[in-house]
Homo-oligomer: A and B are copies of this chain.
Amino acid sequence: MVMNDSTSTQAADLDAIFSALGDPTRRALLCQLAKGEASVAQLRAPFEMSQPAISKHLKVLENAGLITRATRGTSRPARLHAAHLSEALGWLEDFRKFWQGNFTQLDTLLASMPQQKED
């Protein structure tokens, strides 16, 4: 497994995806969208936040490839684009496998060594 930038998933993608997920409002928006597509007004409803703020968050999610926008009249409904979410999942799962595989070795290694003071 390759754990650096030579992976098929571009580092910039992961930057955008993880950063997008780092905001609670945006995670909540994704949760709403998991129930189906929704307009800006609908997405805004649960929040005490201005409409432009929601539009900005949606743009961040769109740039991260996590949602797509349509145009239906004056409405611009958003919907999930799960492919990019799996990129983040993929990285984390790969990382977990890598770490877990290595952890076993490390564990074995530590067990065969004189005890060390940890701090």
Interface set of A (CB-CB < 8 Å, partner B): 3-5, 11, 14-16, 18-19, 21-24, 27-28, 30-31, 34-36, 69-72, 80, 82, 85-86, 88-89, 91-93, 95-96, 98-100, 102-103, 106, 116-119
27 residue pairs of the A-B complex, CB under 8 angstroms, read A5-B24, A11-B24, A11-B27, A14-B27, A15-B24, A16-B22, A18-B21, A18-B22, A19-B19, A31-B98, A34-B95, A34-B98, A34-B99, A36-B102, A69-B119, A70-B118, A72-B117, A80-B99, A82-B96, A82-B99, A82-B100, A85-B92, A85-B95, A89-B92, A89-B93, A89-B96, A92-B92
Copies assembled:
2
* Complex: A30 Cα to B89 Cα, angstroms: 16
- Dominant secondary structure at the A interface: helix
Shortest Cβ-Cβ A-B pairs, 9 listed: A19-B22, A18-B22, A18-B21, A3-B31, A34-B99, A71-B119, A70-B119, A89-B92, A11-B24
Check B18–A4 contact: CB distance below 8 A. no
